[in-house]
Structure 1
Amino acid sequence: MTERNPGEDTGRSRDRRATEARILEAAQAILLAAGPGGFGVNVVAREAGVDKQLIYRYFGGLDGLLEALGIRLAQWWQEKLLETLPEQPATSYADLIERLALRLLHIMRTEPLAQQSLLWELTGSENFARSLSASRTRMLGDWMARMRGNLVPPAGIDASAVNALLIAASSQIVLAGRNTDTVIGLPAHVPSTWDRIERSLVQLVRSIYREV
């Protein structure tokens, strides 16, 4: 009987992780360049320089690859959210959501990958859109669990619905401003417009979550 060197298993595991990472990097690059319409197992395999059978072996096929990519993108969002943290913790739930809303708006405005991931949620396949949405929900939940401490919204406020509306509105404004000169009457490519949007976002958060 041939003895197995424990280092062989470690080497295989390391090689597999490296290959999986290369496949996911290729998948992300394709989606960033071409969107969901240019995505497929064959295209990803060529971009990654691997046999397409490895995608089936490691991810179970296209749906598994998209799910793994959704998780990767959620981790990317989490890292971006945590890049710039205030020195002092939030003092109220309104302060907490104000920080989150402004940070998300900044990421969406300045990061092409953020904008593309938002578009993929709207235009990608059902499975991919579901994976992205679920991953982003987990990401926001993780951030809240880490940052909120014992802060809670005022009584009578449906915080989940309110926060969803704030984030969805910011997403729509950013996406609409990519390809048009105006966003519902506001000049999209004028810096002062985004200053106004930020101020208005803060006013909304503070008005909704004001302590009675």
Structure 2
Amino acid sequence: MKTRKIQGPIRDKQKTMQKLLQAVGAILKSEGHKGLKVSKIADRAKVDKKLIYNYFGSLNGLIDCYLKEHDFWKRTDHVLKANPITDVTPGLMSGIFKNQFDFLERSNEMQNIILWELSEYNRQLSELVDERERFGEGIFQLSDKYFAGTPVNFRAVNALLVAAVYYIVLHKRYNKNTFCSIDVTTHEGKDQILNAIDQIINWCYTEAAKSKKATGKKINPAS
């Protein structure tokens, strides 16, 4: 059975919305958030600027849609919702951070979004950060059984790793200097950082297990 193609106004609307979203990405990549103006986005998309208001309600609505489609943590959330997990293993956590590093390294748009977050308050970005926090809390609730009652503060370790990935990728973009004697612009340097992520995450689980063993506590699968 052949799939029926959408024709007419609906298809035209979808194409135009996609053009506008692509224009937002292109401007973010080349100019950063300060270039996100209605006329500039419409010119880049080669459409009437009124369509931004017709299809997204406002410039903020368009930007909000773009951010939610392209944020690494939102994408990861969608993947995990499509493939639900019941446990948070060291391999899963390391994989998330290494994927974050790879994604941010490749995406100038996402790098500029992070810089935007750090440079000024923005309601949409604040809401996006709140959504990331909700995603993270879901992960932590699944990992709590490993760390509850131990000296390992897994949330604090994750905060440091997220911040480290952001800073190292941005440092690599703007500086050619080594970082703690590591040249992160090379494959060898990047591998050192990714291996360190594995080591840190594995250390957390190992130390927590040692602590539970020493105190006679057991991991509660239902927790």
Aligned partners of 2:104, 2:40: CA distance in 1, in Å? Answer: 27
The equivalent residue for 2:25 is 28
Q: TM-score, normalised by structure 1?
A: 0.73
Instruction: Name the CA shift for 1:91/1:128 in 2 (closer, same or farther; >3 Å).
Output: closer
Q: How far 1:43 moved relative to its partner?
A: 0.6
The equivalent residue for 1:3 is none
Q: Which ranges of structure 1 fall in alignment gaps of 5 or more residues?
A: 1-9, 83-88
State whether structure 2 residue 129 is matched by structure 1 residue 133: yes
Instruction: Name the CA shift for 1:17/1:137 in 2 (closer, same or farther; >3 Å).
Output: farther
Q: How far 1:134 moved relative to its partner?
A: 4.3
Q: How far 1:47 moved relative to its partner?
A: 1.0
What is the CA deviation profile of residues 29-60 of structure 1, one whole-angstrom value per residue up to 9, with x for unaligned ones?
A: 11111111211111111111222111122222
How well do the aligned residues superpose, as a CA RMSD in angstroms?
Answer: 3.4
Letter in 1 for 2:163: A
Letter in 2 for 1:120: W
Q: How far 1:124 moved relative to its partner?
A: 6.0
> For 2:47, what is the secondary structure of its paired residue?
coil
Query: Which residue of the other structure, out of 182, 193, 200, is the alignment partner of 2:196?
Result: 200
Q: TM-score, normalised by structure 2?
A: 0.70
What fraction of aligned residue pairs are identical, expressed as a percent? 28
Aligned partners of 2:11, 2:168: CA distance in 1, in Å? Answer: 43
Q: Which ranges of structure 2 fall in alignment gaps of 5 or more residues?
A: 1-6, 80-84, 211-223
What is the CA deviation profile of residues 60-84 of structure 1, one whole-angstrom value per residue up to 9, with x for unaligned ones?
A: 22211111111121379627x96xx
Matched ranges for 1:62-211 at <5 A: 62-74=59-71, 78=75, 93-123=89-119, 126-134=122-130, 136-137=132-133, 152-156=145-149, 157-180=152-175, 181-210=177-206, 211=209
Letter in 2 for 1:67: D
The equivalent residue for 1:42 is 39
